[in-house]
Amino acid sequence: STVSTGPRIFRRYLSAYEQVAAEQVTTEEGIVERLAGNPLHSFHLIKRMTVDWKHIEANVNNDNWKDVTKAMAGVEQLPLMIPEEDDLHGASQALVRLHDTYNLNMSQLVEGNIGGVKSFAELSAQDCLYIGKHSFNLQLYRRAVQWFEEAYILAGKEHNVTVSQGQVSEFLNTALRAHEKITAESGGNKEKPRQLAGAGSGSSGDGTTNVASDPNKGISSDHKAWEDADNFQALCRGENLRSEAYISSLTCYYDHRGEAYFYLMPAKVERLHHEPEILKFHHMLSDAEIRQIKEIAKPLLARSMVQGKQGKGNTVSNTRTSKVAWLDDSLRPLFQRISRRISLITGLSLDIQQKHAELLQVANYGVGGHYNPHVDYLLADKTEYELKHNIDPRELNMGDRIATFMFYLNDVSLGGATAFPRLGAAAWPSKGSAVFWYNLRRSGAGDTRTLHGACPVLHGSKWVSNKWIREKGQFLRRSCGRTPDA
Ligand SMILES: O=C(O)CCC(=O)C(=O)O
Ligand SMILES: [Fe+2]
């Protein structure tokens, strides 16, 4: 069998590699942007190093291939992080998420065209079948049908080389039945694409299932979880959810923010929403400053974690797929200057020693990286019991995250907006700018309207830096309102 399957596997491996070579990328930035930043290339890369590699290994285990085996053993000893099965699942899930969120055109996608950015990466019938299975497992049946249909078409074009049409049609039929069953259950609400995993808290699966079974699951009962999820996706796609009149009332202006510091060089403010106020400040960081921040953060980046059940064992998060690092102001004078700049522009105290603010957080999202809708406050929605037993007293002492100040450290080539599904507002990343909003009402209550999330990166990568400002130092700086809703 080696004689017949061996060369075919090699040929396929090499032709997949040729797609990469065709990009003619030589610089590190090019690799990050065009190869690692392309969801199809990154899927292929990981697949080559997991599944395909195993097939090759199995086929070179005979005398004719001794030299190759030796070379391969050498590769395995390199101090590299070789992707594993789990990574391939992650890359497939990223493709599922991107297809679902951005409603990508399937026939363009399989030809390497991602939302208008063309590449040499293509998907085979077998790839589509594999990704369709992932959609199915995530209960995204409508999306699974689309992937299987494409797999069927491609299998025909490929003359059943990577997979046969017969094999595909079994999966297609199963997915069609599951889709029909679920649309029948939810009252024939067929057309609305809904998001997969949990907007806010707890919703999962196709969304259509949740609509039928538990419409009020979400962070606040007056908002349907699926509505948040729908709005979130629409905002990610760049759709307008507010009236023309409202949008034209959102102006840009120069502002000295009541500080002499800004008299000669006023802040460039772009209003993203009135109430609650969301502001974007342009040109907050220079390119040189951004370079420094990234340089220091890079070796410190680690996968975002979520706390395990009952605080036991932390696990890699699926609701937030990014890497983060925390930078202490004392590391560099630059970080102190940044804190001071934020303090001047927001009018809030950022004294780290006094615990008026958290350390600077730097986050990096790869292609497909995202953060499901959430609120930034940590205490306002907790019960007295939770505050007493599950929260570190030091957190209580700092008070809640009264405000968020978030820098964008790069331009994202496609996707990656910060979307506020309850406001219909979205902030689009632009290098050096920052967004600012209050998470709490003046009463100290959590402002549920500030629900927001990071849209998946469709192409390229995304860097942000968060400064969370705490309640403690602000009592003379942000006055209370007269009513709980103020
Ligand atoms: O990356 C973004 O756009 C949002 C990040 C965010 O919401 C957070 O880190 O809390
Ligand atoms: Fe957030």
Residue 227, domain member (yes or no) = no
Residue 433, domain member (yes or no) = yes
Contact 457, 370 (CB under 8 A): yes
At 283, phi and psi to the nearest 5? 50, 55
pLDDT at 211: 28
pLDDT at 314: 65
Cβ of residue 464 lying under 6 Å from some atom of ligand 1: yes
Residue 179, domain member (yes or no) = no
Question: Does 247 lie in the same domain as 118?
Answer: no
Atom of ligand 1 nearest to the CA of 429: 3
Rg of the Cα atoms in the chain: 25
**How would DSSP label each residue in 327-346?**
E-GGG-HHHHHHHHHHHHHH
Nearest CA to ligand 1 atom 9: 466
CA of 376 to the centre of ligand 2 (A): 5
Q: How many domains does the chain have?
A: 2
Query: Across the strands, what pairs with 59?
Result: none
Amino acid at 458: L
CA pair distance 240, 218, nearest whole angstrom: 23
Contact 349, 477 (CB under 8 A): yes
pLDDT at 284: 97
pLDDT at 358: 96
At 212, phi and psi to the nearest 5? -70, -40
Q: Which of 66, 91, 123 is the last residue of a domain?
A: 123
Question: Does 420 lie in the same domain as 285?
Answer: yes
CA 38-43-49 angle, 5° bins? 125
At 118, phi and psi to the nearest 5? -90, 150
Question: Does 252 lie in the same domain as 117?
Answer: no
Pocket of ligand 1, candidates 236, 370, 418: which has the most ligand atoms within 8 Å of its Cβ, to mutate?
418
pLDDT tens digits for 261-313?
999 999 999 999 999 999 999 999 999 999 999 999 999 998 777 655 544 55
Phi-psi region of 380 (alpha: psi -120 to 50; beta: other; left: phi over 0): alpha
Residue 186, domain member (yes or no) = no
Positions of the chain with pLDDT lower than 70, given as ranges = 1-6, 61-63, 188-223, 306-314
User: Which numbered ligand comes closest to the C-alpha of 371?
Assistant: 1
At 19, phi and psi to the nearest 5? -60, -35
Nearest CA to ligand 1 atom 1: 454
CA 153-154-157 angle, 5° bins? 95
Q: Which two tokens stand for residue 405?
A: 């100040």
Amino acid at 103: N
Atom of ligand 1 nearest to the CA of 452: 7
For residue 207, the tally of other CB atoms under 10 A from its CB is 26
Supply the angle between the helices 125-137 and 141-157 in degrees, to the nearest 10. Answer: 170
The distance in angstroms from the start CA to the end CA of the chain is: 75
Cβ of residue 322 lying under 6 Å from some atom of ligand 1: no
Residue 224, domain member (yes or no) = no
Burial class (CB in 10 A: 0-12, 13-18, 19+), 336: middle
Task: Tell me the CATH number at 430.
Answer: 2.60.120.620
Cβ of residue 452 lying under 6 Å from some atom of ligand 1: yes
User: Cα-Cα-Cα-Cα dihedral of 368, 430, 371, 392, to 10°?
Assistant: 140
Atom of ligand 1 nearest to the CA of 324: 9
Supply the angle between the helices 225-236 and 85-102 in degrees, to the nearest 10. Answer: 90
pLDDT at 317: 73
| Domain range for 78 | 2-123
pLDDT tens digits for 86-128?
889 889 999 999 999 999 999 999 999 999 999 999 999 999 9
Beta strands per DSSP E along 341-474: 360-365, 371-374, 401-408, 414-415, 418-420, 425-427, 434-438, 452-454, 457-459, 462-470
Residue 178, domain member (yes or no) = no
State the complex-level ipTM.
0.99
CA of 418 to the centre of ligand 1 (A): 7
Q: Which of 108, 123, 138 is the last residue of a domain?
A: 123
Query: For 132-138, which contacts have Cβ atoms below 8 Å and span 24 or more sequence positions?
Result: 132/171, 132/175, 133/171, 134/89, 134/92, 134/93, 134/95, 134/96, 135/96, 135/99, 135/100, 136/171, 136/174, 136/175, 136/178, 138/93, 138/96, 138/196, 138/197, 138/205
Contact 92, 42 (CB under 8 A): no
Residue 414, domain member (yes or no) = yes
Residue 160, domain member (yes or no) = no
Cβ of residue 371 lying under 6 Å from some atom of ligand 1: yes
Alpha helices in 49-164 (DSSP H): 53-59, 66-76, 85-102, 106-110, 125-137, 141-157
pLDDT at 344: 97
Query: Across the strands, what pairs with 268?
Result: 254, 282
User: Which numbered ligand comes closest to the C-alpha of 406?
Assistant: 1
Q: Which of 69, 103, 123 is the last residue of a domain?
A: 123
**How would DSSP label each residue in 174-241?**
HHHHHHHHHHHHTTS--S----SS-STTT--TTSHHHHHH-TT-SSSTTS-HHHHHHHHHHHHTT---
Cβ of residue 466 lying under 6 Å from some atom of ligand 1: yes
CA pair distance 23, 41, nearest whole angstrom: 10
Amino acid at 403: A
Question: Does 247 lie in the same domain as 109?
Answer: no
CA of 444 to the centre of ligand 2 (A): 18
Cβ of residue 45 lying under 6 Å from some atom of ligand 1: no
pLDDT at 204: 33
